[in-house]
Structure 1
Amino acid sequence: MESVFFFFITLQPACRSSSSSPKRIKGHDGRNLQLKFKSKLSLPLFTGGKVEGEQGAAIHVSLIDANTGHVVTGSPESWATLDVVVLEGDFNNEDGDNWTQEEFDSHVVKEREGKRPLLTGDLQVILKEGVGTLGELTFTDNSSWTRSRKFRLGLKVASYSCQGIRIREAKTEAFTVKDHRGELYKKHYPPALNDEVWRLEKIGKDGSFHKKLNQAGIFTVEDFLILVVRDSQRLRNVRIFFLSHHEIF
């Protein structure tokens, strides 16, 4: 146990954050170290809802050497601790993937005055052989009050990790966070057979088409699909003939 502890405390100072950061990210050994999101987010996002990858999958991240495209393993950097932050949605729209640490930090978004922390949950990720997975994350506020009206998630090496080594931060695509009340009206992709029929595209909840469908005994997606196959004329009779099966999905 003592030998393991000694290894840990001697390893940590070799991987701490640098105070200065040139735009060109290249270590003394020629490596070009970059953090990268490997998963896309499931959108739209709502306050109070879990931040997930597409189709509910976990969100994976990695540390890569951009010179080779390979995941970095077998080095102190591959066990770095990362901070998860929120960025302005318009960060780095014009400059590709070329930024300094200071530019990245200047676009971090904090909570509004008097509000709860903007992002709650597991705000750190520990890489294991260059790969990590985000834990549970939740937005407490929507993005409508920001300059771009959008957010990005960002990843940066924690302040006590990787001294003297520049590792470029990661960012997701820009996205909107809506108030959780909007989730009540969210469409499902793909819709389930037992979903209410208004979960389909172009059918508004409690709108005229929704009401006419209900009056005709069409309450679920399954009811709708059965009529598409068996009795399309009945759909025309409730005046939604312009909604073809392909348009809805």
Structure 2
Amino acid sequence: SSPKCLEGPGGGSLQLRFRSRLSLPLYTGGKVEGEQGAAIHIVLVDSNTAHVVTTGPEASMKLDVVVLEGDFSNEDDEDWTQEEFDSHLVKERPGKRPLLTGDLQVTLKEGVGTLGDLTFTDNSSWIRSRKFRLGLKVASGYCEGIRVREAKTEAFTVKDHRGELYKKHYPPALNDEVWRLEKIGKDGSFHKRLSAEGIFTVEDFLRLVVRDQQKLRNILGSGMSNKMWEALLDHAKTCVLSGKFYVYYTDDSRNSGVVFNNIYELNGLISGEQYFPADSLSDSQKVG
């Protein structure tokens, strides 16, 4: 049997609290983490003193991790009863896997605990508020007869991971797969046409934009309207280049050369010891 918890002089003042904010948005199948990937810490506090309760049986009790309706009690300083808290618990939809999987219990040590691995199996679009909260309550068999106020996080949305897997990137990175660009659907016809021509990454795409834009337009074909093409180019051009440069020297003396960036745009000329940026060159120098 669990050790008896003794109600302190300020009886009913014990509260569980989340000390960390969640990293949002959350996706089904993804790990629930704190901001910047940090662990999510919880504490047992005496609300009369605002101090962590580090001794006594309550400081080492077990807690259940639960899912709550997003519209449960917006203010943290509001009080609620155990019955109110329990009436806002969310279970999985009929015929679905448990809504939350992973380490569904936490053990406090000297009044402090850390959430383990947790994953949502379903999105939050089907409940009234369209949002969930995580909650913590004392596990059965611990500190019975004593009121320990449950903890809850802020309300958050859980989205289907498909959205994450297929998301466009803003801005796109050079080594992103080409379907991260607007108007190129993953495994769609444009994606397949580009792949067939050896254009797998955003960098491959941008290089062809510079070298032979018409060829690229022809690869994508008439299925892509001019409006889509403009949107695709605009998105691709927001890509941050890597700062790599290529220099082509005209002869072995390496006296004069042409400088290109990593998507083969003309960057400038090297002549003797001097560098001339592309925007300072006349048209005849560029042709030469």
Fold shared per TM-score above 0.5: yes
Of residues 85, 102, 110, the one that matches 1:129 is 110
Return the offset for 1:160. 0.9
The corresponding residue for 2:127 is: 146
Cα distance change of structure 1 residues 57 and 210 upon mapping to structure 2, 3 Å threshold? farther
- Structure 1 window deviating more from structure 2 (117-126 vs 158-167): it is 158-167
Q: Which has the larger radius of gyration?
A: 2
Aligned counterparts of 1:169 and 1:75: Cα–Cα separation in 2: 18
Q: Per-residue CA shift, 1:143-197, capped at 9, x if unaligned?
A: 00001000000000001111221100000000000011111255789x8966749
Cα distance change of structure 1 residues 69 and 116 upon mapping to structure 2, 3 Å threshold? same
Return the offset for 1:115. 0.3
Of residues 203, 211, 220, the one that matches 2:232 is 211
Return the offset for 1:211. 2.0
Cα distance change of structure 1 residues 122 and 212 upon mapping to structure 2, 3 Å threshold? same
The corresponding residue for 1:30 is: 10
Higher percent of residues as strand: 2
Q: How big is the alpha-carbon RMSD for the aligned residues of Structure 1 and Structure 2?
A: 3.4
Aligned counterparts of 1:46 and 1:130: Cα–Cα separation in 2: 30
The corresponding residue for 1:80 is: 61
Secondary structure of the 1:14 match is: coil
Determine if the alignment matches structure 1 residue 109 to structure 2 residue 99: no
Of residues 13, 31, 37, the one that matches 1:56 is 37
Q: Per-residue CA shift, 1:32-62, capped at 9, x if unaligned?
A: 1100000000000000010000111111101
Contact 2:54/2:111 (CA < 8 Å) preserved in 1? yes
Contact 2:3/2:57 (CA < 8 Å) preserved in 1? no
Contact 2:22/2:35 (CA < 8 Å) preserved in 1? yes
Of residues 7, 14, 17, the one that matches 2:4 is 14
Contact 1:196/1:221 (CA < 8 Å) preserved in 2? no
Q: Which has the higher contact order (CA 8 A, sep 6+)?
A: 1
Unaligned ranges ≥5, structure 1? 1-8, 17-26, 235-249
Return the offset for 1:97. 2.6
Number of positions where the alignment pairs a residue of Structure 1 with one of Structure 2 = 204
Cα distance change of structure 1 residues 48 and 67 upon mapping to structure 2, 3 Å threshold? same
Aligned counterparts of 2:22 and 2:75: Cα–Cα separation in 1: 22
Unaligned ranges ≥5, structure 2? 185-227, 244-260, 268-278, 280-288
Cα distance change of structure 1 residues 184 and 205 upon mapping to structure 2, 3 Å threshold? farther
Return the offset for 1:93. 2.5
The corresponding residue for 1:3 is: none
The corresponding residue for 1:5 is: none
Aligned counterparts of 1:192 and 1:56: Cα–Cα separation in 2: 22
Contact 1:15/1:80 (CA < 8 Å) preserved in 2? no
- Counterpart of 2:154, as a letter, is E
Query: What TM-score, normalized by structure 1, do the two folds share?
Result: 0.71
The corresponding residue for 2:240 is: 221
Aligned counterparts of 1:52 and 1:44: Cα–Cα separation in 2: 10
Return the offset for 1:69. 1.2
- Counterpart of 2:4, as a letter, is A
- Counterpart of 1:59, as a letter, is I
Aligned counterparts of 1:188 and 1:67: Cα–Cα separation in 2: 48
Return the offset for 1:74. 1.3
Determine if the alignment matches structure 1 residue 163 to structure 2 residue 144: yes
Aligned counterparts of 2:165 and 2:66: Cα–Cα separation in 1: 27
The corresponding residue for 2:81 is: 100
